[in-house]
Amino acid sequence: MAITVHKTDRLLLDSLVVHPLVKVHIVDMSSGNYILKSDNNRAVVFYYENKGIEYITPLLCKPYDLHNNHSVCPEWDEMLLINEDMTYILEQGVIIFFELIDFVSFSVANSQTKPEGWHKIAWGFLKPLGKNGELNINKKVRLQLYQSHKYKKCPSNVCPIFHWWKKKLVKYPSSLYVSVCEIEPPESTTRTLRSKTPIQPERGSSETLETDPDHRRNSQLSNEITTMKKQDQKLWSRLNYQTCKLPNRRIAELPSFKEGCFVMKFSHDGLHLSCAIQIDAMYFVVLYSVKALEEIYRYPAHQGMIYNINWSADDRYIVSSSADCTVGIWNFEQRSFIEMLPHPSFVYASDVDRNNTIATGCYDYTVRMWGLSSETYDLLQELEGHKGYVTSLCFASNHHSLYSADSVGIVIEWRRGEDSHHLWSFSREYKWIDLKDTIINQIVLHKRERRLLIHARDSTLRLVDLKTGCTLQWLQGETNNRFRTICSFSPCGTYIFAGGENGTVSVWNADLGDLIATYEPFNKQRVTIHCVQFHPHDNILAISHYGHNVPILIAVFDHTISGESNIGLNILQRDDEVRVDYNQVGTKTEIVRKKSNMVAAKGRRIKLESVIEKINQIMETPSS
């Protein structure tokens, strides 16, 4: 037996109706109890359901996000499989209730207005066998919806909304479209990571994994990765000591599904790119191979937006922080889930140091330190001191310093103790007048870790000297006042890349503070560039946008291109600077030499003019 939930007509506007779903109850019409299973040893709703449950439990379809789909008419078109014979169901005198509900936020549920955690929208019912003996199965039917009431306290085997049917029915101005069909069970099923039907097993046990072809393929892939790491110097066109060059040719458009990609991160070895992508109502961490430019795996990570992704120093673990108040930890080599770290509110920031200590920044103004003990992470310490929610975190390479930024323009340095407890403590607070009450999107340490890049939501990036706290460079040219965007250093430390809300990517020289180039990657589309990442070893650039069906762009440097770039690269020419072509950009000494020559020439001219002016003054002074 299968129940398909198709769609509803237009729903009434309600601030709590954001991602509605349908809950299905199969109930005895005479008693209000859930229908008993024909065989207690058979899985009817879920493959691993408790065999001690004697009745058919309620089913839920997937949520439909009205906001992301720009609709007030949810369309699920989802089939719910029930492992029972249709004849048996019809013999029991069944009525099927369809409850249209929505889950509420933690704050709403905690306020006691919705203590059960659900917002009731409407409900309807279907009698598979009508009074006149006509069957309402194997066809699409339209059900009138009615206004909901309060739940009734009752035993678990009794439907809590059965008494609604006995009350006076007040119509809700919408309808629900469903189908109840009789289907033949499949002869065989494939194992999956998460079972979705009562006849589909999971591939969770070690015995299953050893015989599973997907696991063997993943093991083979892990061996290939190890081999590639040993040949790391042969993989990339750029040597470690070379200055980076600006990518000028688009080579790939990676799929980012309907909503695009909000944040992404290259692995430290440069072989993989992890991307935060929304697929339907779930947020995934999708992994792409940098060499093959194709998807290799995806983790069903979170139920809320993913704000940050980090790789551990050895690329064994992936850490993701999310708006669903959790931080997810994944084993990349084994393609497995490790642990979820719970938080009291949204988690905007996270970082991992070389000892796999995890720092997380939360909406409650607190930085939390998590340490690995045996095979699980434990909360080690909570660091308080911020006056706004924590937006970004970054560890220093020496493992002794941690920098955190917040929503009121303050950066705090925390120091790790040298004693046996290794506790973190407040070390220094950085404040700037022009950053007061300004949200900081991101902080990034320069390659030599003497300077800190502060990416604020006032259309300005700042390079700050960590010893004195003075601002060395103000980098302007990009518009960023509304959304969080992610910037990136080139691995040589020469260039800074940042996207803006006007659809462009700006490139600055970190030593001179000059805007030297811009990109228009999406053909002059005015979409926000949410994330820009430069490859850790090669001249490769990744660009992404979130909110529309726009692909992730991958660009490389091609020395053979001397004309127009297909990635929209535009090298800027200043009045006081000689124009630099594609091959010259990337040569740090060339730009510095030209700048130095111009400054020296200007200084000599000023000195000569001052000498002439003094001579004129002497000549014009009357003798006494």
Compute the distance between CA of residue 286 and CA of residue 288 in angstroms, rounded to an integer.
7
Structure tokens at 128: 């598979």
Sheet holding 488-489, edge to edge: 488-489, 495-499, 505-509, 515-519, 569-571
Return mean pLDDT, the chain: 85
Count CB neighbours of 228 within 10 A.
15
Q: Which of 108-117, 492-501, 585-594 has the lowest mean pLDDT?
A: 585-594
Q: Could you tell me if 360 and 325 are in contact, meaning their C-beta atoms sit under 8 angstroms apart?
A: no
Which residues partner with 36 through β-bridges?
Answer: 55
pLDDT computed for residue 142 by the predictor: 95
- For residue 603, pLDDT beyond 70: no
Over residues 200-235, the pLDDT tens digits come to 776 554 344 444 555 455 555 555 555 544 444 467
pLDDT computed for residue 260 by the predictor: 92
Compute the distance between CA of residue 419 and CA of residue 102 in angstroms, rounded to an integer.
51
> What DSSP designation does 518 have?
E
Average pLDDT for residues 571-596, to the nearest whole number? 50
Band of the pLDDT at 581, cuts 50, 70, 90? Answer: very low
- For residue 100, pLDDT beyond 60: yes
What are the structural domain ranges in the chain? 2-181, 439-559
Compute the distance between CA of residue 278 and CA of residue 259 in angstroms, rounded to an integer.
6
Compute the distance between CA of residue 543 and CA of residue 418 in angstroms, rounded to an integer.
41
Q: What is the dihedral of CA 586, 569, 462, 433, to 10 degrees?
A: 160
Q: At residue 212, what are phi and psi to the nearest 5 degrees?
A: -80, 130
Residue for token digits 């502060």?
454
Over residues 470-510, the pLDDT tens digits come to 999 999 999 999 999 999 999 999 999 999 999 999 999 99
Q: Which CATH number fits domain 439-559: 3.30.70.260, 2.60.40.60, 2.40.50.100, 2.130.10.10?
A: 2.130.10.10
Cα torsion angle, 137, 138, 143, 148, sign: positive
Structure tokens at 235: 């993989």
Average pLDDT for residues 118-132, to the nearest whole number? 90
Compute the distance between CA of residue 509 and CA of residue 493 in angstroms, rounded to an integer.
9
CA nearest to 350, candidates 386, 402, 297, 300: 402
**Alpha-carbon distances, residue 366 vs 150, 380, 618 (angstroms):** 38, 13, 68
- For residue 595, pLDDT beyond 80: no
Average pLDDT for residues 538-564, to the nearest whole number? 92
> What DSSP designation does 410 have?
-
> What DSSP designation does 435 have?
G
Structure tokens at 72: 């007030």
Compute the distance between CA of residue 51 and CA of residue 54 in angstroms, rounded to an integer.
7
pLDDT computed for residue 589 by the predictor: 43
Band of the pLDDT at 443, cuts 50, 70, 90? Answer: very high
pLDDT computed for residue 130 by the predictor: 82
CA nearest to 307, candidates 356, 261, 338, 255: 261
pLDDT computed for residue 175 by the predictor: 95
Q: Do domains 2-181 and 439-559 have the same CATH topology?
A: no
pLDDT computed for residue 118 by the predictor: 85
- For residue 608, pLDDT beyond 70: no
Model pTM?
0.62
pLDDT computed for residue 68 by the predictor: 80
> What DSSP designation does 591 have?
H
Over residues 334-362, the pLDDT tens digits come to 888 888 999 999 999 999 998 899 999 99
pLDDT computed for residue 42 by the predictor: 83
Compute the distance between CA of residue 5 and CA of residue 61 in angstroms, rounded to an integer.
8
CA nearest to 485, candidates 439, 445, 549, 432: 439
Over residues 238-292, the pLDDT tens digits come to 888 889 999 999 999 999 988 899 999 999 999 999 999 999 888 999 999 999 9
> What DSSP designation does 106 have?
H
3-state secondary structure of 161: coil
Return the top range by mean pLDDT from 8-12, 36-40, 228-232: 8-12
CA nearest to 80, candidates 161, 142, 24, 159: 24
Band of the pLDDT at 151, cuts 50, 70, 90? Answer: confident
Q: Could you tell me if 58 and 24 are in contact, meaning their C-beta atoms sit under 8 angstroms apart?
A: yes
Q: Could you tell me if 126 and 145 are in contact, meaning their C-beta atoms sit under 8 angstroms apart?
A: no
Maximum separation of any 2 CA atoms in the chain, in Å: 130
Q: Could you tell me if 320 and 332 are in contact, meaning their C-beta atoms sit under 8 angstroms apart?
A: no
- For residue 44, pLDDT beyond 80: yes
* CATH number at 2-181: 2.60.40.150
- For residue 365, pLDDT beyond 90: yes
